[in-house]
């Protein structure tokens, strides 16, 4: 099965098994990201924006795949990368909501949180309940969850990777719910970065053991 088959298979049936198979195939594949050279030594990676102002990293599985209309298209070049490079790009910029694979054909969106869970298990990671008060985050978020999502439960943890602590929400809900929370947090303009992980990943299930959720939809 080639990468296009994996994409179509996942698009038609978005199970955890099919997503894992897609990520496994992507690890073996040469991918392409659009860049724009600023000068001979500096380039910028191009991001695209959805209707709710979330930014995504566009990834193409071949040079024949098309990008959506971008201003000054002639100055854009495709740079070959591996999946590990894409994960590093996502983790270095918390404002990127995720990746969109072949946006003009397959248009498969994967949230940054999925790659966080996949990648951090290979690093030295510690986690636990935050020691400081996060009611400024949880109290208004509970109201948003009740009114705008079908989320079942949400946990708040502090995840420390490479000595960098990040407040992390583990969400038991659909992909659209996670995207809604990402959009909500982006509009709050908090000074502190907040990560979001879907409960479906093995990493998420491990870190919530013995932790009580701050939100439960009864």
DSSP code per residue over 173-210:
S-HHHHHHHHHHHHHHT-SS-EEEEETTSHHHHHHTTT
Average predicted confidence (pLDDT) for the chain? 84
Q: Are 208 and 155 in contact (CB under 8 A)?
A: yes
Q: How far is CA 22 from CA 4, 47, 181, in A?
A: 9, 22, 25
Q: How confident is the model at residue 58 (pLDDT cuts 50, 70, 90)?
A: very high
Q: Which segment, 12-21, 118-127, 167-176, 198-207, is predicted with the most confidence on average?
A: 167-176
Q: What's the confidence (pLDDT) of residue 162?
A: 64
Q: Are 4 and 106 in contact (CB under 8 A)?
A: yes
Q: What's the confidence (pLDDT) of residue 155?
A: 97
Pick the CATH number of 125-216 from 2.60.120, 3.40.720, 3.30.300, 3.30.70: 3.30.300
C-alpha to C-alpha distance for 124 and 72, rounded to whole angstroms: 42
pTM: 0.58
Q: How confident is the model at residue 120 (pLDDT cuts 50, 70, 90)?
A: very low
Tell me which of 138 and 54 has the higher pLDDT.
138
Residues 124-180: tens digit of each pLDDT: 567 889 999 999 999 999 999 999 999 999 999 998 866 778 899 999 998 888 888
C-alpha to C-alpha distance for 26 and 202, rounded to whole angstroms: 19
Q: What's the confidence (pLDDT) of residue 125?
A: 65
Say yes or no to pLDDT of 195 above 60. yes
Per-domain residue ranges of the chain: 3-113, 125-216
Average pLDDT over residues 72-101: 81
Say yes or no to pLDDT of 118 above 60. no
Say yes or no to pLDDT of 119 above 90. no
Of the candidates 159, 169, 50, 32, the residue with the CA atom closest to the CA atom of residue 102: 32
């Amino acid at each position: 099965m080639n990468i296009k088959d994996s994409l179509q298979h996942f698009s038609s049936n978005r199970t955890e098994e099919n997503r894992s198979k897609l990520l496994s195939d992507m690890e073996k594949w040469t991918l392409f990201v659009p860049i724009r050279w600023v000068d001979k030594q500096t380039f910028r990676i191009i991001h695209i924006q959805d209707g709710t102002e979330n930014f995504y990293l566009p990834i193409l599985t071949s040079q024949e795949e098309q990008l959506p209309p971008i201003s000054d298209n002639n100055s854009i070049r495709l740079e070959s990368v591996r999946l590990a490079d894409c994960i590093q790009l996502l983790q270095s910029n918390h404002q990127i909501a995720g990746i969109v694979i072949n946006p003009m054909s397959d248009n498969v969106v994967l949230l940054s949180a999925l790659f966080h869970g996949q990648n951090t298990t290979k690093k030295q990671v510690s986690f636990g309940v935050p020691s400081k008060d996060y009611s400024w985050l949880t109290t208004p978020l509970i109201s948003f969850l009740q009114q705008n999502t079908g989320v079942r439960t949400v946990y708040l943890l502090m995840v420390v990777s490479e000595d960098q602590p990040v407040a992390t929400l583990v969400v038991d809900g659909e992909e659209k719910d996670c995207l809604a929370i990402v959009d909500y947090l982006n509009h709050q303009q908090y000074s502190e970065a907040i990560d979001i992980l879907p409960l479906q990943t093995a990493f998420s299930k491990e870190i919530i053991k013995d932790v009580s959720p701050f939100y439960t939809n009864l």
